[in-house]
Structure 1
Amino acid sequence: MMKKELVVITGGSGFIAIHIILQLLQQGYAVRTTVRSLKRTALIHEMLATGGVTDLTDLEITEADLTSDDHWAATMTGATYVIHVASPTPNRVYRNEDEMIRPAIDGVLRVLTAARDAGVSRVVLTSAYGAIFAGHHHRTTPYTEADWSDVTAKKIHPYQKSKTLAEQAAWQFIKTAGRGMELAAVNPVGVMGPVLASDYSHSNVQIQQLLEGQVKAVPNVDSGYVDVRDVASLHLLAMTQPQAAGERFLATTGETLSMLDVANILRVAFPQFASKLPTKTISNAAIKAAALVKPDLKMIASIVGEYAETSNAKAVNLLGWQPRSAKTAIIATAQSMLDLGIVQG
């Protein structure tokens, strides 16, 4: 028997990472994934079982932290590919922007250095839409992979700045110190889709809050949405397709929805929650004023009223990627929360 190709996934208990692991195992790869603490092992096993994978023969879970050099050399040993998903989660309350920016950059460089030294063929970096759209004004054409967030813009949020600078650091590393190792980046918009356990991504919290009636009115924020299963499949295409080397891919359906649109999709799909779902928007001025006294609103305040159209033409045309609709992704998020009892129907 041929030995299975080994793929290292960082941050294995994360929402995107667990769906990547599911697809890799289903497609016959061996997977080694990192967690900050092995206490997350049971959660990973639980989520994989929910996703339909119970044979864990080809899965190895190892401890490695992006803030430390320890264990990374051993983690990369024997790997053909690395998918670097792990990243500091946005901290809504921070003392200074370096609390987000420095760990993101250092973590990327730590992973890339260890991967290069281990002879890894290609790294796929999970970047973000936040590395593309932020800091631009008066935009009238859809964002593409050719765009970079303006880190010098006055109101750019440190999370988007961290994503931008971390991805730029990765491309610079490949250019100056990669020694032939290849890099591709995937930049997802708002990620929806099936959650696999009650411990889930911050990107899905808004669906829970909407269904539970916690949101009486929504900000005027437009966004693209994409299903996590399609984000995972795009990572695999970026990992394996020769033409993906050296490229960025915007993971988006190409649709743009307001938060009220999201609420209305939920209202139609889950009429039992109709009375709890918002029907009104909050003015941009009110959000910006509230952010002055509530730091956790600063990220929302930085994007209210902003243009948010995106194009997925590159991923579709270059890699043959075919994402589900945003509506399908949003409904799948809600249905999984009901199925798991996260939200009571």
Structure 2
Amino acid sequence: MRAPTTPVLVTGGTGFIGSWCVLALLDAGYSVRTTVRDLRREPTLRSWLHAATPFDDDRLTVVRADLEHPDGWDTAVAGCEYVLHVASPTLRGTPADDDALVVPAREGVLRVLRAGRDAGVRRTVLTSAFGAVGIGHPPRSAPFTEEDWTDVDSDIPPYQRSKTLAERAAWRFVEDEGGGMELAAVHPVGVLGPLLGPDDPPSLRLVRRMLEGRVPACPPFGMGFVDVRDVADLHLRAMTDPAAAGQRFLATAGPSLRVVEIARILRDRLGERAAHAPTREMPVWLARALGTVNPELRLLRHQLGRDLDATSAKAERLLGWRARPIGDTVAETAESLLAHGLGR
């Protein structure tokens, strides 16, 4: 692809997916502007990126903007043809109610879209999630596709509710008030892959805990997984390909994988360094019982005993996207965690 002279905005550049999107853009020759909530993180981000790829510092600009506040967004989007809206509000601990996540997520998306429309942004790519597609449905054998939406009227966790309502708000805004700005959405399943720095992204904590021996038995469910580098690649394809306008794209490396299969890959590929990885899957009844006292298992209640399959056939057909083998990704995730002093 030909890199434009105008910068691409990536929101949330210090996040796991965001940092890899910044790196992919720099590798492709783009100039990048990225937002952070705290400018004190800029030197850390630059050091991570320089360790991963050579680039001229003037091709990366870091600005302060917070999804929960209006300041800074006009400056962030000024002169940009494309926006990758990767950032999502974060919350420490369990939210007291759904609005603690839903309102910031929805208002943050709208804040970015309004600023982009007013600045003449051509296309925004929204990082949504499988959580906006396949949660709250009765058991099914067919894989989920981009035609599916999470059922927000069912008893689902706040995160999945927030991603779904934020994405629906984004599509309504572009249709009713977008002024011709295009929107595409990327929906990763469980995101694994190597770290750019010694960070602790939530999506890697399962692998980290397995390496540390903190998962005595695997929770009984399966889901799709995908490499963060392939997620970044899909963002860039959705950013420029004419076929992506107005479309949603699931990102998964293949059929669902049981959690115990992740542990098996770790033991097979890392040997003694993964000696603490669990060898068995706990019964569904036990996982449900433990969920009454374990908040993490309680959030998985809709997945226990199920295999949540999804397909990336649409991204492969329309955009030529391909995911690398998930076994390689699992092994490289663990290798990266250990190399950064995590997972020991």
Name the TM-score class by shorter chain.
over 0.9
What TM-score does the superposition give when structure 2 sets the normalisation length? 0.96
Give the match's secondary structure for 1:164: helix
Q: Return the TM-score normalized by structure 1.
A: 0.96
Q: Aligned partners of 1:343, 1:53: CA distance in 2, in Å?
A: 28
8 Å CA contact 1:14–1:200 kept in 2: the answer is no
- Alpha carbons 1:7, 1:29 under 8 Å: kept: yes
Q: CA deviation at 1:54?
A: 4.8
Instruction: State the Cα distance separating 1:56 from its structure 2 match.
Output: 2.0
Does 2:158 correspond to 1:127? no
2:66 aligned partner: 65
Q: Secondary structure at the match of 1:255?
A: coil
- Deviates further, 111-120 or 47-56: 47-56
Match of 1:124, SS? strand
User: In the alignment, which residue of structure 2 is the partner of 1:96?
Assistant: 97
Q: Say whether 1:227 aligns with 2:231.
A: no
- For 1:197 and 1:265, locate their aligned partners in 2 and report how far apart those are by CA, in whole Å: 23
Query: How far did residue 138 of structure 1 move?
Result: 2.1
After the TM superposition, which parts of structure 1 deviate over 4 Å for at least 4 consecutive aligned residues?
Answer: none
Return the alpha-carbon distance in structure 2 between the equivalents of residues 3 and 24 of structure 1.
11
**What is the aligned residue count?**
342
For residue 112 of structure 2, what is the aligned residue in structure 1? 111
334-343 vs 256-265, which moves further: 334-343
CA shift at 1:309, angstroms? 1.2
Q: 2:243 — aligned with what?
A: 243
Q: Using the TM superposition, give the Cα deviation of residue 3 of structure 1 relative to its aligned residue in structure 2, in angstroms.
A: 6.7
Residue 11 (structure 2) aligns with: 10
Q: Which amino acid aligns with 2:109?
A: V
Identical columns (%): 46
Matched residue, 1:181: 181
Q: Residue 311 of structure 2 corresponds to which residue in structure 1?
A: 311
- Distance, in Å, in 1 between the alignment partners of 2:343 and 2:325 is 23
State whether residues 85 and 126 of structure 2, in contact with CA within 8 Å, keep that contact through their aligned partners in structure 1. yes
Residue 196 of structure 1 aligns to a residue in which SS? Answer: coil
The corresponding residue for 1:163 is 163
- How far residue 280 of structure 1 moved from its aligned partner, in angstroms, is 1.5
In structure 2, what is the Cα distance between the partners aligned to 1:327 and 1:50? Answer: 25
CA RMSD of aligned residues (A): 1.5
Q: Is the 8 A contact 1:157 1:298 kept in 2?
A: no
3-state SS of 2:148 partner = coil
Asked if structure 1 preserves the Cα contact closer than 8 Å seen for 2:132 and 2:163, the reply is yes
Paired residue type of 2:212: E
> Which SS does the other structure have where 1:276 is aligned?
coil
Moved more, 325-334 or 231-240: 325-334
* Deviation, structure 1 residue 169: 0.5
CA deviation profile, 1:105-148 (whole Å, cap 9, x unmatched): 01000000000000000000000000000000121101010100
Task: Give the gaps of 5 or more residues in structure 1.
Answer: none
Partner of 1:343: 343
* Matched residue, 1:34: 35
1:124–1:294 CA distance, 2 compared to 1 (3 A): same
